[in-house]
Amino acid sequence: MIKTDIIIIGAGPVGLFAIFEAGLMKLKCHLIDAIPQAGGQLTEIYPKKPIYDIPGYPTVLAGELIDRLMEQAAPFKPGFTLGERADTIEKQEDDSFIVTTSEGTAHHAPVVMIAGGLGSFEPRKPKIDSLPRFEKNGVEYMVKEPENFLGKKIFISGGGDSALDWAIYFAEKNVSPVGLIHRSDAFRAHKDSVEKVHQLEKEGKIEFYTHAEVVGLNGENTLESIEIKQKGKGNKTVAVDTWLPLFGLSPKLGPIGNWGLEIEKNAIKVDNTLDYQTNIPGVFAIGDVNTYPGKLKLILCGFHEATLAVQTAYKIIHPEKRFTLKYTTVQGVQGFD
C-alpha cells in the first residue's frame, strides 16, 4: 500500500504543478497515470508543439514545459505510478480513499485530485473508406516529431487551434505552401492564429480551401494525392506527401466515469466558487477534466484550480492546524529532506 497526503490521478502539467503547490504546504503527493512517462498529452501527443500562453514564456515547447514542471516539483519528492490506469476508488470509514490501479497497485490518502486532462483519447477520424490503408503511410493524426514533416507537401484539415497552429508552424518552416482545408470560413481557433494564417495566405505560404473537405485518398503503398470537394467548385485532386486530419480528439473518462462523480458532457462537475471539489467530499477535479460555468480549457486555468484545491486539501488533511500562506519571495522554496 502506497500512502501519501494527496493522490493525483494524471501526471500532465496541472497534476505536476499541484505537486509544487502542495509541497509549499508540506503535503506529499503521489501521481498515477496510464501513460508510461510524466507529461500527459504534452509528452504523448505533441512534445514539440509550441505553447504561447504560459506566463513568463513568450513561447515554450510542450515537452520543455513538462521538463520545467518536473524540475519545479523535484524538491518535494513526489511518487509516481506510471503505465497503470486508476481503476477504482473506495472511500474508507475515516473518509480517506484507496485508489487501485489496473495492475492492482493500491494507494491510500485522505485526498484525491483528478487531473486526468480529457481522459483517454482517440482521434476523430473522417469517414473515408480507404483511410485505414494510409494511416502511418501519409495520414497522421498528431505531430510528435515535426522535423520528420519538413520539406514535404503537407495538407491539414481542421479549423481549431491545433490545425491552425501546425499550419502556421509548417508554413513558416517549409519552402512549399501548406494546404489548409476547412468545412467553413469561420475558425474556432484563437483570433491571433486566424489573423496569422490569413497573413500567411497573402504571402503565398498557405493555400486555403474553405467550405471544403477531403473525400478521397489515392496512392499505392503510401499516400500520393487527396481529393478535395469544395462547395461551388467541384472536386480537385492535389498531390501530397502528408495529410493531417486534425479534427480533435474524442475524450473518454474511462473508469473515472464509474466512480459516482457527477458528470456533465464527459467532464466532472465541480464547485468553482471555492475549491473545485466534486460531489464527493475530499475528491477534487482540476484541469481539463472538470467543468463549471465559464470553464476555459487552458493549462493556465488548471494551474489556478490546482492552487485553490490544495488550500482546501490542507484543511482536510490537517483540520486542527491553521496554515498561513506566505509569498515564496519571502519564505523561499523549502523542499523535503
Q: What is the mean pLDDT of residues 21-45?
A: 89
CB 30 within 8 Å of CB 316? no
**DSSP string covering 37-73:** STTTHHHHT-TT-EE--BTTBSSEEHHHHHHHHHHHH
d(CA 148, CA 71): 29
pLDDT tens digits for range 135-149: 999 999 888 788 999
Architecture of domain 2-121+249-331: 3-Layer(bba) Sandwich (3.50)
SS3 state of residue 90: strand
pLDDT tier at 120, thresholds 50, 70, 90: low
pLDDT at 244: 97
The string of pLDDT tens digits covering residues 57-113 is: 999 999 999 999 999 999 999 999 998 889 999 999 999 999 999 899 999 999 999
The domains of the chain are located at: 2-121+249-331, 125-245
Give the strand pairing for 263-264 and 154-157.
unpaired
Dihedral angle sign, alpha carbons of residues 300, 96, 277, 328:
negative
> Is 2-121+249-331's fold the same as 125-245's?
yes
Half-sphere exposure of 190 (CA within 13 A, CB side): 13
- The three grid cell numbers given for residue 229, joined into one nine-digit string: 470537394
Give the confidence band of 275 by pLDDT, cuts at 50, 70, 90. very high
Which pLDDT band holds residue 265 (cuts at 50, 70, 90)? confident
Could you name the CATH architecture of 125-245?
A: 3-Layer(bba) Sandwich (3.50)
The residue among 20, 84, 82 whose CA lies nearest residue 309 is 20
Cβ atoms within 10 Å, residue 75: 15
pLDDT one-digit tens code per residue, 190-203? 888 999 999 999 99
